[in-house]
Structure 1
Amino acid sequence: MWPSPWRPPCPASGSGNSFKPIPLTVTRLAKLRTRAFFAQQCRCIYCHLPIWEGPYKDRLVSALGIPESLVPYLQSTAEHLVAQQDGGPDAPVNIATACQWCNWKRHAHRHNCAPDPVTFQAEVRRLMAAKRWHPAARWASRTLPGRAGQRSDRA
């Protein structure tokens, strides 16, 4: 059964020896988001910055020293790769996890016309390399050398 009620902490959160229970999720979409969160190794599908989900917020903040002002931007959100309004299902193949910032920017002021995920990811990665995308880009370039803007396995 996925996700297991007991999962190891995110690799970015420090020691892999401690286990922390994942709270039981209420909705199917929340379960799919949690599944994608771990499948993507706790990183946004677009900007590839570390993100947090539920009880892992404090671990991410303490392990990586994320400034408190950036924490809300790095919250995990469920991202429909094909929008529901375009017939995209709530299914594992259609759900990825994105940080709050990237999800908002992909859909902001774009009623019925969000860019496709592959094009959007390429644009975000280009802007991340120039440190012109995410509020956390400058922090990431100092703290996570060579990590921000890396390619992910999905999309």
Structure 2
Amino acid sequence: MPKTLARLRTLAFQHQSGRCYYCCCPMWQKSPEAFAATFHLSKRQAHTLQCTAEHLHARVDGGGDFESNIVAACRLCNARRHQRKDARDAIHHKAHVARLMGRKRWHDPWVFEKVLHSGAGR
């Protein structure tokens, strides 16, 4: 990842208080072991909640690496947005994720049990 994008990801992570732009779950940026220990997760589970840089307006559509276009998103939310043949724009993806989070259907059950209901996740 270019240094500029890494810096923008860190700024977004800090601005969002370490929470995913889409699902609002806590994320980790530098220490998967500490994050996993805090929430009693496996390394594989922690990997899902790694902080990534997400372009609100995708690069392929002309979006660039600038602060107003970068948010911090967990690996799962970032990947799922772009898995679709016709990826949703960021606003519609966020609304879609919110609907499914409300029904506890976006992430695996362990996220709701271990991360979101833990005192450490608030």
Q: 1:98 aligns with which of 35, 54, 73?
A: 73
The TM-score with structure 2 as length reference comes to 0.85
Q: CA deviation at 1:70?
A: 1.0
Q: CA deviation at 1:26?
A: 5.5
Q: Number of aligned pairs? A: 118
- Tell me the alpha carbon deviations over residues 38-59 of structure 1, each in whole angstroms, 9 at most, x when there is no partner: 11111111111111112x3222
Paired residue for 1:8?
none
- Tell me the alpha carbon deviations over residues 58-111 of structure 1, each in whole angstroms, 9 at most, x when there is no partner: 22222222333311111111100001121212101000011111111000142x
Runs of 4+ residues deviating >6 angstroms: none
The TM-score with structure 1 as length reference comes to 0.68
Question: In structure 2, how many angstroms separate the alpha carbons of the residues matched to 1:75 and 1:26?
Answer: 17
> What SS does the corresponding residue of 2:106 show, helix, strand or coil?
coil
Paired residue for 2:38?
63
Question: In structure 2, how many angstroms separate the alpha carbons of the residues matched to 1:120 and 1:61?
Answer: 27
Amino acid at match of 2:117: P
Structure (1 or 2) with the larger CA radius of gyration: 1
Return the structure number with greater relative CO, CA threshold 8 A, min gap 6: 2
Q: For the structure 1 residues 139 and 72, does the alpha-carbon distance in structure 2 shift closer, same or farther, using more than 3 Å as the test?
A: same
Q: CA deviation at 1:129?
A: 1.6
Paired residue for 2:28?
52
Q: 1:140 aligns with which of 105, 111, 115?
A: 111
Report percent identity of matched pairs: 40
Paired residue for 1:84?
59
- Tell me the alpha carbon deviations over residues 117-141 of structure 1, each in whole angstroms, 9 at most, x when there is no partner: 1111111111112121112xx2233
Unaligned runs of 5+ in 2: none
Question: In structure 1, how many angstroms separate the alpha carbons of the residues matched to 2:2 and 2:33?
Answer: 22
Amino acid at match of 1:142: E
Q: CA deviation at 1:146?
A: 9.4
Question: In structure 2, how many angstroms separate the alpha carbons of the residues matched to 1:74 and 1:40?
Answer: 14
Q: Which has the higher helix share?
A: 2
CA RMSD of aligned residues (A): 2.1
